Amino acid sequence: MLLALPSPSTGPRRSAPALLAAASLLLLTPAVAGAAPSAKVPSGSAKVSRGVCTTSATDPQARAASFAVTVRDLPPAGSYGFSTRLEERMPGARWRTLRGADVPTGFGAFQTARSGAPSMTRRITVRGLHAGSSYRLRVTYRWTGPSSTTVVRRTSRACAVKDLRPDVGLTGEFGWQPSTTGGEVAYRIGLASDGLDALKGVDVPIVVRQGQSVLAMGTFRPSAASEVLVLAGRRCVQGAPVAVELDPDGLVEDRDAPNDALSASCEPVGR
């Protein structure tokens, strides 16, 4: 398929994903008396569910992880509750705790059960996560009694936010030919796209440079898995490399950044 771009234009900007959290109280029941104190915390008294991750090709807020945390009273504790921290493992990296701007304001604060309640369950959902990364929740439970404090820790099983983002890249095909659309030459640039449904209606910027000089620029809308873009511009100088770059300002969120740039020779098509 052949795309022709006679003149430069610019594409729409996309807002950066925000990180949000929602925590809803699922269960908070009246007190039950008569339980005996225990030196060992029963497994049912401190539970965290396996993470459930959701994803989206285009909506950053739909990339989320949800967990359910349950804590039960252990008399004679006067108060009890838990705190959490979210851990992330990006592809090829180790687990790390998300802090500061990487988590919502107030996330991880100690949650105290209502006085007299035998149990508390909260569902925690964190949104705006990274596509392709795995997430787990680490929970610290605490029971405070008249003369002692009991602390235990649990870690959820992880879930992964699948990376369904589209990808637009350069194939390596590049050359110039005499222009028929008003420029000195027309550059033929090979493109490959994956996830066309998510790219529908998206304008992808492209620029051709030689040194500090911009030879051609414009936008295109991917329409096939493989196609050739024809972009009018000033002729390059032979003997010096030409740089072709897709989306130089990072306006389009796609999956594979390394194939967004190409260094090529200034040669006519067919040579």
Residue 146 belongs to some domain of the structure: yes
Q: What is the CATH number of the domain that holds 236?
A: 2.60.40.10
Could you say which of 160, 177, 200 is where a domain stops? 160
Of residues 175, 172, 176, the one with CA closest to residue 185: 176
Burial of 177-203, coded b for 16+ CB within 10 Å and e otherwise, reads eebeeebebbbbbbbbbbbeebbeebb
Task: Indicate whether 130 and 223 sit together in one domain.
Answer: no
Rg, the chain, Cα only: 28
- Note whether 109 and 153 are same-domain residues: yes
The answer to the question of residue 50 being in a domain is yes
**Are 75 and 133 in a shared domain?**
yes
Q: Same domain, yes or no, for 25 and 144?
A: yes
Containing domain of residue 221, as a range? 165-264
For residue 5, is it within any domain?
no
Per-residue pLDDT of the chain (271 residues; tens, 9 = 90+): 444 444 443 333 333 344 444 444 333 333 333 333 434 899 899 999 999 999 999 999 999 999 999 999 998 999 999 999 999 999 999 999 999 888 888 899 999 999 999 999 999 999 999 999 999 999 999 999 999 999 999 999 999 999 999 999 999 999 999 886 666 899 999 999 999 999 999 999 999 999 999 999 999 999 999 999 999 999 999 999 999 999 999 888 888 778 999 999 999 997 6
35 lies in the same domain as 144: yes
How many separate domains does the chain show? Answer: 2
Give the pLDDT of residue 183.
66
Same domain, 141 and 227: no
Burial bucket for residue 35 (CB in 10 Å: 0-12, 13-18, 19+): middle
96 and 194, same domain (yes or no): no
Residues 64 and 100 reside in one and the same domain: yes
Final residue in a domain of this structure, among 107, 132, 160: 160
Boundary residue ending a domain (135, 160, 185): 160
Residue 216 falls within a domain, yes or no? yes
Same domain, 78 and 135: yes
Residue 149 and residue 188 in one domain: no
Q: For residue 164, what pLDDT is reported?
A: 94
How confident is the model at residue 20, as a pLDDT? Answer: 43
Residues 28 and 112 in one domain: yes
> Phi then psi for 237, rounded to 5 degrees?
-100, 125
Tell whether 6 is covered by a domain: no
DSSP labels for 86-131?
Answer: EEEE-TTS--EE--GGGS-TTTTPPEEPPTT-SEEEEEEEE-SPPT
- The answer to whether residue 32 is domain-embedded is yes
Residue 201 lies inside a defined structural domain of this protein: yes
The predicted pLDDT at position 24 comes to 41
Predicted structure pTM score: 0.75
For the domain that residue 129 is a member of, what is the CATH number? 2.60.40
189: Cα within 13 Å, side-chain hemisphere: 34
pLDDT at 100: 87
Domain annotation covers residue 259 = yes
Q: Are residues 154 and 190 in the same domain?
A: no
